Amino acid sequence: MEYAPATPERTERLDAARTSGDLRAHNRVQLLRAIHDSGARRTRSQLTHDLDLARGTASVLIGSLAADALIAESPVEDARPVRGRPTLVPGPHPDGPQVLAADLREDAWELAVCSIGGGYEILGGQAHDGTPEEALRPLAAAARAATSGRVVGIGLAVAGPVRDGVVDISHLGWQDVRVPEFFDVSVPLIVGNDARLAGVAEARRGRLQGVAVGLHLHIDFDPGGTLLLDGRPMAGSSGTAGEFGHMPLASRSLDEPCLCGAWGCWSLRVGANALLRHAGLAAGGGRGRALAERILASDGEAVAENARALGEGVAALVNALDPGVVSLSGMGVELLARARDEIEAAYLDGLMAFRRSAPPPIAPSSLGRAGPLIGAMESAFDAFLTPSGLQAWRELRGFGLV
Amino acid sequence: MEYAPATPERTERLDAARTSGDLRAHNRVQLLRAIHDSGARRTRSQLTHDLDLARGTASVLIGSLAADALIAESPVEDARPVRGRPTLVPGPHPDGPQVLAADLREDAWELAVCSIGGGYEILGGQAHDGTPEEALRPLAAAARAATSGRVVGIGLAVAGPVRDGVVDISHLGWQDVRVPEFFDVSVPLIVGNDARLAGVAEARRGRLQGVAVGLHLHIDFDPGGTLLLDGRPMAGSSGTAGEFGHMPLASRSLDEPCLCGAWGCWSLRVGANALLRHAGLAAGGGRGRALAERILASDGEAVAENARALGEGVAALVNALDPGVVSLSGMGVELLARARDEIEAAYLDGLMAFRRSAPPPIAPSSLGRAGPLIGAMESAFDAFLTPSGLQAWRELRGFGLV
DNA sequence: AAGATTATGCTCTAGTCGTGAGCAAAACAT
DNA sequence: ATGTTTTGCTCACGACTAGAGCATAATCTT
């Protein structure tokens, strides 16, 4: 029997080392990633064991990273009495690479500068009126002002679907807004959906750490989310995967239209807009957050209905996607605190029978409102922490030092 | 600002080469994979270019694979006049590795032996009465008889969810059937859901070739499927991802119970069981396939209803998962041929507005009923085509030749 | 039919990498 | 003050890939 051969492209692997030189580049990245992922908290000796390196190899690698000003070694802080030659902690270099991370919400933005290891400092923020001009111009100006020679990338979280930097926020009337055109910077700009970036943050520094398959749901006006596979978000073919809010997961009527253009969407039942709608108020347009929060605090029937719909939808997603943990951020945290029983009852009821013996836990985010910002940082670093990223940094420094 | 460090485990990459020795092992695998994926049809010279190898390196690698009886080179078949020294085509070695692949359906099974390159030969098959004993004993015996020293793995497709080799087929009353215990063989046994394996086949040799994110749906009694990311099926945390049939994707009533234990499932509206139910006949239990096929051939309202529900559900899945192509196998092929208009109308209507300008195509499988079998073969080879798999083969041969 | 041209395979040298042993360094324990 | 323990540095060694030079085997040209 015969059939068509597979395409040769499929055999290519991006992260595969082929030559000896690739090997060194690969191992440099791996070590720098380990330092970053551990929060610049592990000692050189611990890292050597973590990555199963020979001491000689670690010596060369650490030395080369330090020579490129990618890291600097400093003494352990809480030096308890330990026998043997003291080891050092590799951490961010004083002149080392940084990324900018920004979180652009419906009503304000925030900008931070971040170092290897994940430490960050808020540079500023500003309220805006919701138009692309008023929101993006000042943010872009602030980012440009902060873009020193050390900045190797910018991550930006926005509250809407993103396709190649083109953003739609139906709430605010944003249609095909080309975000990168506002930014006059020469470093890579990573624009991502806030729900997805919150999920990335959760996978790297929050409740989804070490989880092979995690489902993160960010509930704001609408529910959105992402599936995290080994800490990487599933992007989809056009970068817009994760719009779980636009499946009919808890619908009682497929004839009810959603603003997205589809019918009977989950987002008509879960999130701030659903709370408003249940109270007979106008929903959509990105307005009414304060009102929705008051309804949530009232613990009324609207909240219970929201909770049931959340549980039903999560059950459907778990049935299909089989995650190990489900994490919630945004309004989901408070909803879980107020109505866990309703959520869990609907959740268990909606699971396939064979999943009920060990249902994946539903956990609140541990990162608070910082999720999208941290996710933006991690995404920007992801683009830098590659063989070509480190190579570009080395060459740039070479020019600067001549 | 600070927060918890990431787990060190996350930094580990299974397929990463660390030492020079790993490099050679990695490149051997890569080359052998390229030969296999291309259907053993590309010449040595083409492969050298595909993988961007130096001729010297290719020489060594091909030589070492040939020395281990993993491949054998033979002249090109349709030798058209070409200038230059003629090149050879690496293909399966006459004593090279093989895998067994089996497709276990509700009423019969089939067993095949497969070589590097993807060629296979059906060894036999048998009808059965649906009990685990009657279905699995003869299959296991046939597999054992066919397990020569050349066989390095067995892939088995079954029509139900699989967790670590434990199978449930509610149709047939199979509950927690431990399939591996029936097989008295010493080579790895890969048991997989048939819908998922059909998707794997589609991604490697069918309509999803070269598609970065593909959604495959296999429609039999129920709809099931898998998401294919760079040709690899998304397994989920317990191996049971892809049960899209048990989301309420086209439900008009969340109070309608499904055999799976959940409510309002898509599988109540799509597939052979839905056809039977629409005709007022008993559904479930794995019976009525012939009847359902007759209903399908009648082109009546039941078919139109099935088609609409299929379109609605695919739209919801596309909204959330953002695949580049959707492929259908099983009953989906005929449904698509008979009712493409109904399917597409419901599909477009259910998409988010911004997806309607370039909706992912819905394409019928190009592999016919062989999908699960081919997927089982590919999965078994996946387990072998690794550094450790090739190493084990070399050692085994070493003993044999002494 | 014989030489020129062309593409491929083989062989060998050069450069690079990681390993691991041996030694130096820097702490604690006695 | 001396021994013990752990870590960092250095260097010889084996293994790998790249690339150049040569051999090989076909087609093309005259």
Residues of A in contact with B14 (CB under 8 A): none
- pLDDT for A107 equals 86
| Nucleotides in D strand less than 7 A from protein CB | 4-12, 14-21, 23-28
- pLDDT tens, residue by residue, A234-281: 999 999 999 999 999 998 788 899 988 999 999 999 999 999 999 888
Per-window interface: B 297-316 vs A, CB < 8 A? 312, 315-316
A contact test, residue of B3, B13, B208, B209 with most A CBs within 10 A? B3
Answer whether residue B402 shows pLDDT above 50: no
Tell if the CB–CB gap between B26 and A5 is shorter than 8 Å: no
Look at B246 and A316 and tell me if their CB atoms are within 8 Å: yes
Q: Would you state the pLDDT for residue B80?
A: 77
What are the pLDDT digits (tens) for B285-331? 777 889 999 999 998 999 999 999 999 999 999 999 999 999 999 99
Q: Would you state the pLDDT for residue B370?
A: 96
The CATH number for B19-92, chosen from 1.10.645.10, 1.10.10.10, 3.30.365.10, 3.20.20.60, is: 1.10.10.10
Separation in Å: C29 C1' and A119 CA? 38
Identify the CATH assignment for B207-366 out of 3.40.50.300, 3.30.565.10, 3.30.420.40, 3.40.228.10: 3.30.420.40
Q: Residue B400 has what pLDDT?
A: 62
| Choice among B143-157, B178-192, B218-232, B251-265 with the minimum mean pLDDT | B251-265
- Positive/negative CA dihedral, B194, B199, B201, B206: positive
Each domain of chain A, given as residue ranges in start order, spans 8-92, 98-197+372-401, 209-366
Higher pLDDT, B170 or A384: A384
The reply to whether A255 touches chain B by the CB within 8 Å rule is: no
CATH pick for A8-92 out of 1.10.10.10, 3.90.180.10, 3.30.470.20, 3.10.50.40: 1.10.10.10
pLDDT band at B343 (very low <50, low <70, confident <90, very high): very high
* Class for the domain spanning A98-197+372-401: alpha beta
| Chain A 39-78, CB < 7 Å to strand C | 52-57, 60-61
Residue A145 tokens, joined: 């002002």
pLDDT for B12 equals: 36
Cα–Cα distances in angstroms (integers) from residue A220 to residues A46, A207, A374, B295, B320, in the given order? 40, 19, 17, 46, 17
Tens digit of pLDDT for each residue in A295-308? 999 989 999 999 99
Confidence at B81, pLDDT banded by 50, 70, 90: confident
Q: What pLDDT, in 10s, does the model give residues A155-190?
A: 999 988 899 889 988 778 888 999 999 999 999 999
Tell me which protein residue sits closest to nucleotide C6, measuring alpha carbon to C1': B84
Superfamily per CATH, domain A209-366: ATPase, nucleotide binding domain (3.30.420.40)
Q: How far is B355 from chain A (nearest CA, A)?
A: 10
The answer to whether A98-197+372-401 and A209-366 have equal CATH topology is yes
Confidence of residue B10 (pLDDT cuts 50, 70, 90): very low
Average pLDDT, chain B: 92
Judge contact between A177 and A185, C-beta under 8 A.
no
User: Is strand D less than 7 A from the beta carbon of B18?
Assistant: no
The pLDDT tens digits of the residues spanning A46-83 come to 999 999 999 999 999 999 999 999 999 999 887 678 89
Amino acid occupying residue B349: D
Three-state helix/strand/coil letters over chain B = CCCCCCCHHHHCCCCCCCCHHHHHHHHHHHHHHHHHHCCCCCCHHHHHHHCCCCHHHHHHHHHHHHHCCCEEEEECCCCCCCCCCCCEEEEECCCCCEEEEEEECCCEEEEEEEECCCCEEEEEEEECCCCHHHHHHHHHHHHHHHCCCCEEEEEEEECCCEECCEEEEHHHCEEEEEHHHHCCCCCCEEEEEHHHHHHHHHHHHCCCCCCCEEEEEEECCCEEEEEEECCEECCCCCCCCCCHHHCCCCCCCCCCECCCCCECCHHHCCCHHHHHHHCCCCCCCCCCHHHHHHHHHHCCHHHHHHHHHHHHHHHHHHHHHCCCEEEEEEHHHHHHHHHHHHHHHHHHHHCCHHHCCCCCCEEECCCHHHHHHHHHHHHHHHHHCCHHHHHHHHHHHHHHHC
With bands split at pLDDT 50, 70 and 90, how would you rate the model's confidence at A400?
A: low
Chain A residues whose CB is inside 8 A of the B230 CB are 10
